[in-house]
Amino acid sequence: MEEEPRVTAASKRQPFKSSLQTQHNSDFSRCCHRKTISRPYSAHAPNARLNLPIDYSTTPLLNHTSQSALSHPELPQNVRQSKTQRQNLFQAVNSALRHALASDERVLLFGEDVAFGGVFRCSMNLASDFGAERVFNTPLTEQGIVGFAIGLALEGMRPVAEIQFADYVYPAFDQLVNEAAKARFRTGSTGMHCGGLVVRMPSGAVGHGGIYHSQSPEALFTHIPGLHVVIPRSPSQAKGLLLAAIACNDPVVFMEPKILYRAAVEQVPVEGYTLPLDKAEILKEGKDVTVISYGTPLYNCSSAIEAAEKDFGIKAELIDLRTVYPWDRQTILESVKKTGRAVVVHESMVNAGVGAEVAATIQEGAFLRLEAPVQRIAGWSTHMGLVHEKFNIPDIARIYDGIRRTIEY
C-alpha cells in the first residue's frame, strides 16, 4: 500500500505544486509499470485533468452563432448586417479565394494539385468556375512556384501561390528573402514591388505528420523586413486576413494551421471583408497575467486559462498576435503594463522563436512594470517525431504550469 504523503511546512507553502506533482508522479508510475502501450500515437494520459482534447464545439474562441460572428467590431457595417454560413477553416479559405478571384481579374491561384482542389481541398471547384488560365497546377518545384509568382507580382498581378506543405518551402526561401522581400527597396522610385503576392502554406503539427509534414517555420520569415507573416486562428479570421493579404501592397506569407482545417468550425460572414494585418486582437480581458499566442496553441491557452482561473482565483488576458511579423507591439506592451506578467506560447521551436522577440520587447518596453520574468512555453528544440508530436508542442498542462509559475513568482 502507498503511504499517505507527509504534510510538512514546505508542502503547506506550495499547495498546488504538491498536488500537481503527486498527480503527475501517479500517472507516470502507472505508465512505467505497463508492459505494453497500445496507443499508436501520443495522446493524453489516462485520467488527465488538463490535457483533454479541445472541444471545438464549445470553445469561446469560435463564433457559434451568427450574432456573435456579425458583432465583431472590425467588420465593416455592411458585412455586420449580412448573413453568415457555418464553415470550417478550409471552406473559409476557399470562400476568400473565390471572392478574390471574382472581384479582381489580376488574382491568379496556382500550386501543386491546386486545380484538383489541393491536398486539403482549399481550392475545390475554383478551376472549373474561373478557368485554367487563372487557377492551375504547377510542376513540383517550390522555387519555381514562388519565382513565377514574384514575376507576376512585379508585372502588376496579384498571385496567390500555394506551397503544398510549409515543410517544403525551404527551396523557395531564397526567392522570398532575396527577391520578394527586397523588391520595393531595390527598385526605389520606379514603383515596382511585389505587393499582392501571397504565399499560402499549411503549417503546424497534425498529430501524426512527422518530420516532413508538421513543421512550423514561421520564425524563419519573421527576420525578413519586407515580408508580412500571418497565421489565422479560425475560419472567420482566415477569410478576413487572407483577403487583406491579397489586397496588401507587400508580399505576405500566409500560414494556415492544418489541424484546424476541419477541426475549427464556426459561423463566417458570407460577404467579403478584410481584417487588419497590423493589429493583435484581445480575445479575453484580464488583470493578473497576459497570455500571448497565435494559431492553434490559442485553443490550449484558452483551456489552460480556464483551469488556472478556477484554481488560482486570477483573471488572465488572452491575446492573438494574428500577424507575427511585423507584430503589434503596442497592444502587447499596454496589456503587460496592466497585468505585470506575461506568458508567450507558440508551437514552433523555442530557440530564436517568435516568443523570444516578444519577450525581449516586453523586457525593453515594460521592464519596470514586470512582477515576474516573461515565460516562454514553446516547442522543444528538436525535430518532430512521428509518435511524439503531442509531447513536443505546448500542451494545456505546460501552459497551465507556466501561468502558475508566473503568478507565484
Q: Hey, which residues are catalytic here? A: 142, 213
Q: Is the bond preceding residue 326 a cis peptide, omega within 30 degrees?
A: yes
Contact present, 333 and 365 (Cβ < 8 Å): yes
Three-state DSSP at 258 gives: coil
Please choose, from the candidates 179, 345, 182, 325, the residue with its C-alpha nearest in 3D space to the C-alpha of residue 253.
325
Specify the DSSP class assigned to residue 152. H
Please choose, from the candidates 199, 324, 178, 198, the residue with its C-alpha nearest in 3D space to the C-alpha of residue 249.
198
Q: Which runs of consecutive H residues, i.e. helices, occur in 14-108?
A: 15-32, 66-70, 77-80, 89-103
Three-state DSSP at 122 gives: coil
Residue 249's contacts (CB-CB under 8 Å, 6 or more residues apart) are 193, 195, 196
Residue 303: in which H helix or E strand, if any?
A: helix 297-312
Q: Which three cell numbers stand for residue 174?
A: 531564397
Please choose, from the candidates 68, 179, 161, 154, the residue with its C-alpha nearest in 3D space to the C-alpha of residue 108.
161
Residue 24's contacts (CB-CB under 8 Å, 6 or more residues apart) are none
Task: Give all strands of the β-sheet with 281-284 in edge-to-edge order.
Answer: 281-284, 316-320, 289-293, 342-349, 375-379
